[in-house]
Amino acid sequence: MSSAAIIGAGSVGSTIASFLIWGGAYEEIIMVDVNKERCQGEVMDLQDAGFLTDTQVRMGDFKDASSASIVIITAGAKQRKGETREALLKRNVRILSSIAKSILPVSKETLVLLVANPVDILTQIFQEISGIPRERVFGSGTFLDTMRLRTELAQRYNVAATHIHTYIVGMHGDLQIPLWGVGNVGSVPVEEFFRLTEKDKKAIGAAARDKAYKIINAKGSTYYGIGACVAKLSAGFTQNRHQIYQLSAWHPKYGCYLSWPAVVSKKGIQDIVPVALTVEEKAVVDKAAATIKFGVKNALNPQMSKL
């Protein structure tokens, strides 16, 4: 039976589950959360939507997750008032360490998708503390940022977002950069098709990068966009589509996890797409890689590197 185990039944986890039900991607969806009452409530609510695709939804535990087709981890600590990013990261490391200990050993076919932020750093940390092969552990990375970039272009120039092929690479957050030079629309370079000026590119890139802040200021959190992205990502892997997705994956050239285009299959990350960078793009990616490495090293004590 194909199944997705979602660890964390909050707004993001539950929204991901609803998109998975709508798409009929799995026969069964298992919700796992330390807050049993909240989790049971979400399960009952989601079960009422299961008739759309005959998807079974139930509450489970970490043992159930260990044999799922894919484990989607949304659980993570929220930043407290006055708390430093370093302190928040270390709290999230403790959460991930607890999750890893609880689900191990996992099936040899089980994939793990991280959603909690800072996603590039936490994805690498989870891989290191769990020991699950790198190709089977990945994060949502800049997938949503890339979709926001394509949507921004679509809205400005009246071209369907699904026909705009360009990516944002680096690190989800401030150290991300659009790859204008390699993008295309109907085989025509993005810059040429839309006649983009440097001013246009800066404005569009900033709009994609900063949209989350605007949403959070208006309603407190974001979950529809990331829910749709994670549902599409997870199905791309487990349904063996061999498609190219923008996500956080191990990049051997940089020696760390990095948001980058990759070919996916039911075995995990199949290939990293070789992308030519400009001098400016390389500078941002280099800084992103250094930041991710520092974050991982700073958060993990040597004795925590293995369970």
- In 10 A of CB 253, how many CB atoms? 11
Contact (CB, 8 A) for 119 and 94: no
- Residues pairing with 258 in the sheet: 249
242 is an active site residue: no
- Find the catalytic residue in 165, 172, 242, 251: 172
Answer whether 167's CB lies under 8 Å from 244's CB.
Answer: no
CA distance 307 to 303: 8
Distance (Å, rounded) from C-alpha 7 to C-alpha 30?
8
| SS3 of residue 220 by DSSP | coil
Largest CA distance in the chain: 54
Could you say which DSSP state residue 161 is in?
A: G
Can you tell me the distance from the alpha carbon of 108 to that of 217, in angstroms, rounded to the nearest whole number?
A: 42
Length in residues, the chain: 307
First to last CA, the chain: 29
For 127, residues 6+ apart whose C-beta sits below 8 A from its C-beta are 134, 137, 250, 257
Placement of tokens 């071209």 in the chain = 159
Nearest to 125 by CA among 150, 94, 155: 94
Across 133-158, b (16+ Cβ under 10 Å) vs e yields ebbbbbbbbbbbbbbbbbbbbbeeee
Question: Residue holding tokens 């699950």?
Answer: 132
- CA 197: distance to chain centroid? 30
Residues labelled catalytic: 172
